[in-house]
Structure 1
């Protein structure tokens, strides 16, 4: 293999692994082929949105500890510092940024960049974007509503609801906490549809193809199993797709309908949607993927078909709606207090490279209060990354969406197109 082909294969194989959100970059499964023999190594990295935001939280803790004003009650968020951090991220290469901070008494929101990579319409604070795996806490909420109703328990085997879909013994709790052992499977779907794993054009073209329920099940059953059920954390989009199928089976309603009736409406999420076809409606931050100087530059993703993610990550939303969701969740408007506490309790503690993950949410250190935590999730589609975090009382929150994703760092390049760490740190500091 010549040097150019090998570089392309390495970068492309790493990109396939990015079908899973960055929180799972260390456990995402890559497809090994003769054209890309180093794919598994390329796809294994400690770098992730989760790692970035956790590091930012620790840095924010140091900032707060050294600032007596911040350590003694809520301050008005400093718009100039937050605006500067948002602007800097766009100046470094992000297409658009929309962000929101709430600290109990005050709030700030801002945006920078353009709605389209090649357009001129400015990004706005209430523009919608693809939230990817920030969908998972919403699906987990629907599942736990069924648990509260007595439809299931957390120990209910998938086999009891969807016979033959997963191995006997895999439970609802294992799916919710990513301990089922199932592969993420999204990358397997993409790779199985490609004839040339060296082709960026084909990779992004495949992302526009519809993925049916049968396709998701085939991928789940064909991709190599990662762990024994219950053994360890291993991020799985397929697990949440299965949870969506289980919800549809027992309720007779679509995931879209369930989200609209039982999550979006009671949480006041008026700008959120669960699309199953390509295209967008209304003001939207359109997705673009950057393949680096060794790749083919930029790809715009207006054709992306959200059926690839389905219940694992198809929701589109805004920073305000994401904040409304987490506030509604932790304050008892979607599930009761006991259920919320169970969702927030980590099932994974001390596993190297893994987040402290509960049932559809993970936790990071609270920069404002030593020993306390913020709870939420991140999301990473092929053109957008997002973060949504809240304090346990719902009073302090950060939510952010960034379009124009660098899909080759850290698998191929040493330096990212841009680094959101400074923005994350500033936002977290100003929740105090």
Structure 2
């Protein structure tokens, strides 16, 4: 499933790429599909199974629930409103949403703090999914809430209130920040306030369409349309065998992690974003101003305004985002210095079992993914 080299500008070892992707499948991932881009060349590949019941294979053009990659789209939509003068980055959120975030918190928390997760607002996830316990405190989790919420339609307001009610331990503006979907649901409400249009509709109109994406958007139904894989959730070995959650009401994440896309569209989006075709150069510079943030995995990451900076030894700094929802994991990264891009979709999430301390054990899938990523980023001039 390799596309030919378009120009003799950059060389990709396509056989090595396909072999490395096959290794991800052989290590235990049901299905993986990816697109790698570099100046003058694009490669797409797939390995494994989209449906374990039928044996249907994965294809590189399948749609995927992309999770928190949604945050880059939401951030871009907010920055475009900053460019129009409707939003100020360092204005208090209480100026725009006085009833939602009243009082001192509304005065101290700025729009920028929501975008870079330094607001101090807590994650609502463990309260919307009670069996997850003190997520991500892994020893406490159980899978029951995943099934209970499959067709539950959450109101954004109730999720925000859950997050705000649990807040108070972290100072607004303090670092490291704490990654929280509450921030990005508030940004969705902010977009609606200043545009008069539903946030998902506005992001689709002002960002997705502007980038020329054909297979990206917010589904309004629990069922995915178009070619897609089943999406299997392992929940660290607590769901065995892993269960398909491709059909799911995504109101639980909305403007934080509710989008569907393809690996081709994701590369196109991040390519255009860093080419200055989605937001202005000054807005992009703001998006690239990072602070330390504690991710849901517990690791410390460099986070900008809806962008994650990833330093890959020997390959430089990449920008983009990772995303996961129940049963799916996606990543999309771009190196603005050399134009190298990688978007990868996986149809099994949380495959690692837990050790006696409740920490995920390393799995052969992890080693295979590292090897594929290095193969994908190893481009050279032809």
Question: Deviation of residue 429 (structure 1)?
Answer: 2.0
Q: Is the 8 A contact 1:398 1:431 kept in 2?
A: no
| TM-score where L is the length of structure 1 | 0.76
2:130 to 188, 191, 205: 191
Which residue in the other structure is 1:87 paired with? 22
Q: Does 1:357 align with 2:300?
A: no
After TM superposition, list the pairs within 5 Å mapping 1:21-36 onto structure 2: none
What CA deviation, in whole Å up to 9, does each residue of 1:102-161 have, x standing for no partner? Answer: 121222110112222323221111111011000001000000001000011111211111
| Counterpart-to-counterpart distance in 1, 2:373 and 2:291 | 25
| Counterpart-to-counterpart distance in 2, 1:387 and 1:327 | 14
What CA deviation, in whole Å up to 9, does each residue of 1:376-409 have, x standing for no partner? Answer: 1111112111111112268321111111112554
Q: Is the 8 A contact 1:132 1:379 kept in 2?
A: yes
After TM superposition, list the pairs within 5 Å mapping 1:332-343 onto structure 2: 332-343=276-287
Distance 1:318 1:251, change over 3 A: same
SS in 2 for 1:389: strand
Question: Deviation of residue 374 (structure 1)?
Answer: 1.6
Structure 2, unpaired ranges of 5+: 1-7, 134-139
Q: Is the 8 A contact 2:263 2:345 kept in 1?
A: yes
Which residue in the other structure is 2:226 paired with? 282
Which residue in the other structure is 1:225 paired with? 168
Q: Is the 8 A contact 1:322 1:388 kept in 2?
A: yes
| Counterpart-to-counterpart distance in 1, 2:238 and 2:123 | 27
| TM-score where L is the length of structure 2 | 0.86
Q: Does 1:135 align with 2:70?
A: yes
Query: What number of residue pairs does the alignment pair up?
Result: 356
1:212 to 145, 155, 179: 155
Structure 1, unpaired ranges of 5+: 1-72
| Counterpart-to-counterpart distance in 1, 2:380 and 2:261 | 22
- The CA RMSD over aligned residues, in Å, is 2.6
What CA deviation, in whole Å up to 9, does each residue of 1:317-346 have, x standing for no partner? Answer: 001100111111111111111111121121
What CA deviation, in whole Å up to 9, does each residue of 1:61-93 have, x standing for no partner? Answer: xxxxxxxxxxxx964211111111111111222
SS in 1 for 2:69: helix
Which residue in the other structure is 1:374 paired with? 318
1:397 to 335, 341, 357: 341
| Counterpart-to-counterpart distance in 2, 1:216 and 1:295 | 25
Report which stretch shifted further, 97-106 or 316-325: 97-106
| Counterpart-to-counterpart distance in 2, 1:192 and 1:276 | 26
Q: Is the 8 A contact 1:76 1:107 kept in 2?
A: no
SS in 2 for 1:355: strand
Which residue in the other structure is 1:414 paired with? 361
